[in-house]
Structure 1
Amino acid sequence: MEGDGARSAITLGPVDVPKAPDVLARELRERILSGELKEGAALPAERELVKQTQMSRATVREALRILEVQNLVRVKAGRAGGAFVQRPTTASMAKSVSTLIRGRQIKLADLMETREALEPFCAELAAIKRTEADLATLDRANGAIAAPDADLSQFLQANVDWHVGVAIASHNELLIGFMTALSQAIYTGTENAAFVDDSVRAATARAHKSVTKAIRDKDAETAGRRMRTHVHTYAAAALKVDQRDSITVDN
Structure 2
Amino acid sequence: MEDRKGSTVVVNKVLAPKPYDLLADQLREAILGGDISEGDALPTERELVEQTGLTRGSVREALKLLASEGLVQTRPGRFGGNIVTLPGKVEIANSLSRYVRGRRLPLRTIHETRDVLEPALARLAAVHRTAKDLETMAHLHQQLIDSVGDFQKFSRTNLRWHTAVAHASGNEMLVAALEAIAYGVAVSTTIDEYDTPETRQQVIRIHAEVMAAIEAGDGQLAERRMRQHISATHARVSDVEADVPMSDDE
What is the TM-score of this pair, normalised by structure 1? 0.90
Aligned counterpart in structure 2 of residue 245 of structure 1, from 233, 243, 246: 243
Q: 1:217 to 1:51 in 2, by over 3 A?
A: same
Cα distance in 1 for partners of 2:149, 2:36 equals: 47
Question: Gaps (5+ residues) in structure 1?
Answer: none
Question: Gaps (5+ residues) in structure 2?
Answer: none
Q: 1:250 to 1:70 in 2, by over 3 A?
A: farther
Shift of 1:31: 1.3
Moved more, 188-197 or 82-91: 188-197
CA contact (8 A) 1:24 1:60 kept: yes
Q: 1:91 to 1:62 in 2, by over 3 A?
A: same
CA contact (8 A) 2:123 2:222 kept: yes
Matching residue's letter, 2:76: A
SS in 1 for 2:237: helix
Q: 1:110 to 1:162 in 2, by over 3 A?
A: same
Q: 1:83 to 1:16 in 2, by over 3 A?
A: same
What are the Cα deviations for residues 56-75 of structure 1, in whole angstroms up to 9, with x where unaligned? 11111111111111111111
SS in 2 for 1:83: strand
Shift of 1:226: 0.2
Matching residue's letter, 1:99: R
Cα distance in 2 for partners of 1:115, 1:100 equals: 16
CA contact (8 A) 1:163 1:183 kept: no
Moved more, 175-184 or 83-92: 175-184
What are the Cα deviations for residues 62-111 of structure 1, in whole angstroms up to 9, with x where unaligned? 11111111111111122222110111111111111111110111111111
CA contact (8 A) 1:64 1:73 kept: yes
Q: 1:35 to 1:157 in 2, by over 3 A?
A: farther
Shift of 1:23: 1.4
* Paired position in structure 2 for 1:55: 54
Write out the 4+ residue segments of structure 1 that deviate beyond 6 Å after TM superposition.
none
Cα distance in 1 for partners of 2:153, 2:131 equals: 25
Cα distance in 2 for partners of 1:45, 1:54 equals: 14
- Say whether residues 1:105 and 2:127 are aligned partners: no
